[in-house]
A and B are shown apart, each in its own frame.
Chain A
């Protein structure tokens, strides 16, 4: 993977230095996309595996990040408010320049904190319901309770850390960022995952990694049946027992690179098992399904 700093030097400026809104509006969409770390991955031939460095930079760099003051903190009480009002209130507070927002009394409310597209420290003191913090791009979210189904669905970047358990379809269609659950999660974790990292401290249910396309999933506990069923690509690491593997999911050899990466990630989130990471099993796609052949996408178009 071409590192961002190399690209940035080619372009003559460092995106991490931060830019004002006027400067950003003066750039082209392509430049802005490049600043966000997009368009930096090269698809390989037969394998679409993206090689990674152990010391890779975390996530992406945000154009407006320097304008967010994380020390400016406020609280928002969800008691008696409908979901739309809570989400509007979060936006209003972000526009006022608050960098840290603490949500109180969510009490299982659905769709809390969806669609946040900038840096923000969001702390949710309680449990939330379905579709919590979906479609986010950038915020660091810490949820002190449990989350319902489809938490962080379509998440693009940022960090979401859940202290208790999570429901099914955890991190569905996730594209980037780190999604961490310290407890156990339900079924179909990381279904259709397209990037990023999912880390589960406990167990995961059936059909985890179903149709996974890219990204990495780490399960410290046990995995249910049909793990990695019909996965296209990506990697699943399981620390406990696997009930059975799905179609075309195959075990692979753990390399030193895998172990170093697992150690770094699990230490980062304080989930490192006492016995280390040597016992983890690595699962990848066998790539025997019909959609795999030796052709590049452009070559396929010529034939079709």
Chain B
């Protein structure tokens, strides 16, 4: 049982950071292990936002020289950015192990990302023109406060509260997942995928990277693979219902779209609210009510249903 939530404001920017925090706080009972947000700000062409972690939270207590190791890793990451002719315009550290860079780069971002992830303990959480992907252990309030998310303005976002069932409680197994190497694509998932190993082997044979053993990561990799083959988001969601086994409801966000897919058994919940200026969805109505206290009409999508909305 995990909690997922998504939100789009059509054609305008809003307080997505604080709204997503309220929604995920209301879903805390569905998963207290970790919380993640993928929120989309105004796209700034040319500049990339890169969020990465250089260690896990538990590593911080693993040795007297951990701080030095982290400094060395951050130094190496910056050296490798320079080697790929990326110039750092801004640099923030929300926690000692999680960095945010704003970089300018006009080469192959995939090659650069692969080179940076070669640094020990380093994982790029997100890379894109508008995506900011934040995930850490703790509930929504803790994560939002640590990463200063409440002031974030943007058009849309997705989020997740995790109850770990398939893999460890750590940042690498937390959602959302960035659809490496696709800039600005992220995925959150509630459910269990039963043909994970079969699909993972197929994806690994095609050169995709897996950072965790969490089944939800497969959906991010699978979506990236479909997009690489020229599929639209809608095509990818439709294909996943046939090709992915298990019970699942998942949300995918791109630079300007948000999509959902529900499995053939309709075993995992999602509640939808649609209006002319905003769309909100969550595992439980209580999350939607957290930001829309007035009486509204909400619906449940049916089995095998897929939807895509434009921001």
Contacts and interface: CB of A to CB of B under 8 A. Distances in A.
Contacts of B286: 107-110, 129
Contacts of A130: 284
Interface in A150-203: 164-168, 184-188
Determine the interface band of chain B, counting residues with CB < 8 A from chain A. 10 to 19
Interface string A249-260: 000000000000
B303 to A, nearest CB: 4
Contacts of B93: none
Contacts of B265: 187, 206-207
Contacts of B285: 108, 127-129, 146, 148
B303 A205 contact: yes
Interface residues of A, number: 30
Contacts of A206: 264-266, 302-303
Contacts of A129: 284-286
Contacts of A109: 286
A126 B300 CA distance: 17
Contacts of A184: 299-300
A126 B286 CA distance: 12
B297 A146 contact: yes
Given A168-B269, A187-B266, A205-B266, A127 B299 contact: no
Given A126-B295, A187-B266, A206-B266, A148 B284 contact: yes
Interface string B262-279: 001110010100000000
B139 to A, nearest CB: 17
A286 interface: no
A167 B303 CA distance: 12
B292 to A, nearest CB: 9
Contact of A127 (B264, B269, B298): B298
A229 B247 CA distance: 19
A145 interface: yes
Given A107-B286, A109-B286, A145 B303 contact: no
A165 B289 CA distance: 16
Contact of A168 (B266, B287, B289, B295): B266
Listed from nearest, the 5 A-B pairs whose CB atoms lie closest are A108-B286, A108-B285, A187-B266, A186-B300, A107-B289
Interface of B: 264-266, 269, 271, 284-289, 293, 295, 297-300, 302-303
26 contacts: A105-B293, A107-B293, A108-B284, A127-B295, A127-B298, A129-B284, A130-B284, A146-B285, A148-B269, A149-B269, A165-B297, A165-B298, A166-B300, A167-B271, A168-B269, A184-B299, A184-B300, A187-B265, A187-B266, A187-B300, A187-B303, A205-B303, A206-B265, A207-B265, A224-B303, A225-B303
